[in-house]
């Protein structure tokens, strides 16, 4: 019986969610979803993400990120002001169409 931990993992760019223990993968996926404006639990889009970058002096090339703003969305029956109604229904039956 050999241990996988004896060999460093060289695959991917470090953002591969298939590596690591299940809890670590789950947390990584949750964080990635939230950063991209989605519900960390189910992945429903809850925010629009606007990224502002700088450009080089000549206007060419890739700039660096100056700011990243998440703008809450409202999608009838699914998301209300950035809140996922599937995972976090409003009190009084304001939930989404899934479950129930």
Residue-wise pLDDT tens digits, 55-82: 766 666 667 778 889 999 999 999 999 9
Residue-wise pLDDT tens digits, 17-29: 456 677 677 778 8
In this prediction the pTM is: 0.58
23: left (phi over 0), alpha (psi -120 to 50) or beta: alpha
Strand pairing class (79-80; 83-84): antiparallel
Distance of alpha carbon 49 from alpha carbon 89, whole angstroms:
23
Percent of the chain with pLDDT over 90: 42
Distance of alpha carbon 14 from alpha carbon 11, whole angstroms:
8
What per-residue confidence (pLDDT) applies to 56? 66
């Amino acid at each position: 019986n050999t241990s996988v931990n004896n060999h460093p993992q060289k695959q991917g760019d470090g953002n591969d969610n298939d590596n690591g223990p299940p809890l670590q993968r789950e947390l990584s996926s949750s964080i990635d979803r939230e950063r991209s404006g989605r519900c960390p639990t189910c992945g429903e889009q809850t925010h629009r993400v606007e990224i502002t970058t700088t450009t080089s002096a000549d206007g060419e090339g890739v700039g660096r990120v100056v700011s990243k703003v998440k703008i809450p969305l409202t999608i009838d029956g699914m998301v209300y002001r950035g809140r996922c109604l599937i995972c976090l229904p409003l009190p009084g039956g304001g939930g989404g169409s899934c479950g129930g």
